[in-house]
Amino acid sequence: MVASVLDGVALRGVVGCVPERRETVADLALRFGEDAATRIAKATGIEARHLADPDQCTSDLAEAAARRLLDGLGWEASSVDLLVLVTQTHDHVLPGSGALLHHRLGLRKGAAVLDLTQGCSGFVYGLWTASALLKAAGRRALLIVGDTTSRLIDPSDRTVAPLFGDGAAAVALETAADAGTMVFDLGSDGAGAPYLTAAGGAMRHPDTPARLFMDGTQVFAFTLREVPASVRAALDGAGWSMADVDHLVLHQANAQMIRHLAQKLGATREQTVLALTGLGNTSSASIPLALTEALAGPLMAERRRLLLSGFGVGWSWGSVALSVGPLALCTTVVLPGRKYPANSAAAARSAGESANSADR
C-alpha cells in the first residue's frame, strides 16, 4: 500500500451536481416486477437515482458544479492553477474531458489539466493527486469528479440497473499555511479487473457495445478484504482512533455494505454517513455528494474530522484521514434537462438560472 502524508492544502468548498431526471423503485417495478424492485431497494438502501438525459454528458454535470463553486467562492477562473478531472465516462475517446472543461470554464492557458481514469476510488485518488501537484506548484486547484454510468448499463440488467446513478462534484483546493494534514493510504490489485468492467467500446473490442458487468460477490469479498486495513492505516498515520472521527464517509455503494464495513471498523451509526437513498452509486462522485447531501451544515459551521474511503474498479482503493471546515460552500445543484414543454415547471426553473443549475 502507498502511504502519503500531505499538509498545507485546504478544502475551501464542495459542490455536487445531479441531473434532474430520476428513476424510482416504482419505475423499476414496471421492468422487473414490484416484488423484485422492492427486494432490491431493501437490500441496497437505494430508492431512487438521478439519470442523465441523452444529451447530457459528464462534462455538463461537472461544468455546472464547477461554475457554482467558483461563483460561490468568488474565485476568478484566472486564479485556478490546476484542474484535475476524474471520470470513467469521458465525452469522447479523445481529448479528455478536462480539456473541454478548461475551455468552457474560461481557465487561463497557463493552468495545468490532468485527466484520471478512475472509478469508485477516484475521489480519494484525485484528492491525493491534486493536493500533491498543488504543493509542488500553484495556489489554487479544482478537483472535479463524476460519471454518467447509466450510459454503460443495459436497463434490463437487474444486477446493475437499480444501483448506479449519475452525478459529479467539484472541490476547491487552496494552499494555506494553517491547513491540516491529510494522511492517505492507497492500493490496487489488477487481478480484480475482470469482475467489474465495461470491456466493449474501446480499442480491444471496438465493435462490442460498452456494457457494465459486475460480479457482486467478488466486489463484496474484495471490499471486506482490503478496505478495513486501508482505513486503519490512514487512522494510524493520523494518530487517530475511530472514536476520534466525526464522520466516516465510505464509497456509497449500498447500505448493507457500508453498515457491514462500519461495524467491522468499530464505527457507530452516528459516525457513519449514509447518503445513497436518493442517489444510488454515483461512482467517483459518491463521497463528495455524501458530503454535500449529508454533512453540509456541520462542514460549513465548524472543523470536522473525516475519514473518507473509496474502493472499486481495478481493483483499487484509497482512504484519507483529514480535517475539513468550516467550508465557505457545501451544496448540491440540479442540472435540468435540455428539452421541456414551454409551460413546464422545469422549463421555468431552467430559464431563471444562468448556469443551468439550481441549489437543492
Q: Which single residue is written with the C-alpha cell 475517446?
A: 93
CA gap 161, 47 in Å, rounded: 12
Spacing of C-alpha 149 from chain mean position: 12
Question: At 257, phi and psi to the nearest 5?
Answer: -65, -45
> Are 283 and 54 within 8 A, CB to CB?
no
DSSP string across 118-165: --TTHHHHHHHHHHHHHHHS-SEEEEEEEE-GGGG--TT-TTTTTTB-
CB-based burial of residue 110 (10 Å sphere; 0-12 exposed, 13-18 middle, 19+ buried)?
A: exposed
145 pairs with which residues across the strands? 86, 169
| Those residues with Cβ within 8 angstroms of residue 351's Cβ, 6 or more apart along the chain or in another chain | none
Residue 84, SS3 per DSSP: strand
Spacing of C-alpha 18 from chain mean position: 11
CA atoms within 13 Å, Cβ hemisphere of 4: 17
CA gap 257, 126 in Å, rounded: 23
Residues carrying an active site annotation: 120, 251, 281
